[in-house]
Amino acid sequence: MILKQNKSSKKILKKKYINNKIKKINFLNMNREKLYIFFKKIGEKSFRVHQLMKFIYNNFYDNFDYMTNFNKNLIYKLKKYAVIKYPSIIDQKISYDGTIKWILKIKNQNIEMVYIPEKNRATLCISSQIGCFLNCSFCYTAKQGFNRNLKVFEIIGQLWTASKFIFLNKSLKLNKITNVVMMGMGEPLLNLSNLIPSINIMLDNLGFNLSKRRITISTVGIVPGIDKLKNMVDVSLAISLHAPNDYIRNKIIPINYKYNIKNLLNSVKNYLFKSKANKNGVTIEYVMLNNINDKIKHAHQLANLLKNIPCIINIIPWNKFPGTNYKCSSNEKINKFIKILKNYKIIVFIRKTRGDDINAACGQLSGNIHNKFLFKK
């Protein structure tokens, strides 16, 4: 049956057309595989994807007109169906130690990312969610509540925007980003569908070409997430353990009621079994909270807990934020704690606090979230 186009169906078509026009795809949402599929659909060969990725990730072009290898017809098609859209830097704060906190605008919200330069390298700390819903009692982000998952273009867009800034501002002599840590706002393993394509682009030699050892996913310990991850990507894993037993962990990390230490460490072992990126072991993060988890007996408990897990312990001095009774353990206590762990032949590092004068240190990111569900006025 042929339907006659009446006025209202014309209206619908028009609306659809407008929607189509608005709903252009964003190339920063697509890893290489997805780009292949898209280019096939528009009748283009796969080598065009390689050229496109070079334009996007080497030259940081966001305008198809600059893509001089492309013929007019291809540029026309790309403009018709696609955009390169990314979060923009709206403010920056520079610490005395060279750390930079960039504030990014995403729609009507802000997120923060932190650039930490070192001698010959630089680490970018990025977020996977706006806010967080895990409610760890010692973390500032938790106080903001959960807002939403970040999309691929918002996760990879953080790295892209920072890299573009460094590329365009050569006179500032900022080191190229060599390491990425998913230690900003949010829990990466609760946003796997956006995290995985983002990691693919970081690892891709036509993307950011980062080594798997230099990308770290830090997780509170979402057990099903770690189990899934092991079949999806191989990158460095860091576990926010922060306690030597379930009694303390339940108190400071409520998700421990669901995924206790035993189950968590089992799942970590399975990940390590498959992983090449974690050959030196998993990183165990341990924040030093005065009189909570920093006693001598806790150091012994922790060492025993980890005796069958190849690991490196990263001791994190707790970073302060307003409105909490927590205090960081004294240097003396931290040193004693480390000494005990070292006696067990465990490799222990203490994480240097960077950018604390600009509230850019671990657990200090807030994102200044504007959301009616989070803040009652």
- Considering only CA atoms, which of 289, 288, 296, 279 is closest in space to residue 339? 296
Q: 310, 353, 315: which is closest to 334 by C-alpha?
A: 315
Q: Which is nearer to ligand SAH, 14 or 327 (CB)?
A: 327
How far CA 329 is from CA of 6, 34, 287, 294, 326, in Å, comes to: 74, 48, 9, 7, 9
List, as one string, the DSSP characters of 94-157: E-TTS-EEEEEEETTEEEEEEEEE-SS-EEEE--SEEE-SS--TT-HHHHT-EEEEPPHHHHHH
Chosen residue from 27, 38, 55, 138 binding ligand SAH by CB under 6 A: 138
Of 78 and 185, which CB lies nearer to ligand SAH in the complex structure? 185
- DSSP string of 152-194, one letter each residue: HHHHHHHHHHHHHHHHH-GGG-PPPP-EEEE-SSS-GGG-HHH
Q: What x/- string results for residues 273 through 312 when contact with ligand SAH is judged by CB under 6 A?
A: ------------x-x-------------------------
Name the token pair of 360.
């850019």
Stretch of 135-143, 154-162, 258-266, 291-299 lying at the interface with ligand SAH (CB under 6 A): 135-143
Least CB distance to ligand SAH at residue 299 (A): 18
- Nearer to ligand SAH by C-beta: 30 or 139? 139
Q: Would you give the binding string for ligand SAH spanning residues 213-252, x where CB under 6 A is met?
A: -----xxx-------------------x-x----------
363 contacts ligand SAH (rule: CB under 6 A): yes
Give the binding range for ligand SAH (CB under 6 A) out of 51-59, 86-94, 136-144, 261-269: 136-144
Whether 362 is catalytic is yes
Pair 363, 324: CB distance under 8 Å:
no
CB of 291 to ligand SAH, least distance (A): 16
Q: How far is the CB of 152 from ligand SAH (least distance, A)?
A: 18
CA pair distance 40, 31, nearest whole angstrom: 15
For 130, residues 6+ apart whose C-beta sits below 8 A from its C-beta are: 106, 109, 111, 146, 147, 148, 149, 150, 185, 186, 367, 369
The reply to whether 318 sits near ligand SAH by the rule CB under 6 A is yes
Q: What φ, ψ does residue 359 adopt, rounded to 5°?
A: 50, 45
189 close to 225: Cβ distance less than 8 angstroms? yes
Q: Which is nearer to ligand SAH, 101 or 242 (CB)?
A: 242
Give the residue, chosen from 52, 82, 122, 183, that forms a contact with ligand SAH under the rule CB under 6 A: 183
CA angle 169, 172, 173 (to 5 degrees): 105
Residue 74 touching ligand SAH (CB under 6 A) = no
Q: From CA 335, how far away is CA 290, in angstroms rounded?
A: 13
> Considering the rule CB under 6 A, would residue 55 count as an interface residue with ligand SAH?
no
Is residue 157 near ligand SAH by the rule CB under 6 A?
A: no
Q: How far apart are the first and last CA of the chain?
A: 57
Closer by beta carbon to ligand SAH, 140 or else 337:
140
Q: Which stretch binds ligand SAH (CB under 6 A): 86-94, 163-171, 199-207, 313-321?
A: 313-321
Candidate residues 28, 201, 316, 334; the one interacting with ligand SAH per rule CB under 6 A: 316
Closer to ligand SAH at the Cβ: 52 or 136? 136
The catalytic residue among 44, 112, 187, 285 is 112
Which residue of the set 132, 139, 328, 362 is catalytic?
362
44 is catalytic: no
206 or 254: CB nearest ligand SAH: 254
Would you say the C-alpha torsion 58, 46, 150, 202 has a positive or negative sign?
A: negative
* Residue carrying the six token digits 């060492």: 303
Q: Indicate which residues carry an active-site annotation.
A: 112, 362
For binding to ligand SAH (CB under 6 A), which residues are involved? 136, 138-140, 183, 187, 218-220, 240, 242, 285, 287, 316, 318-319, 362-363
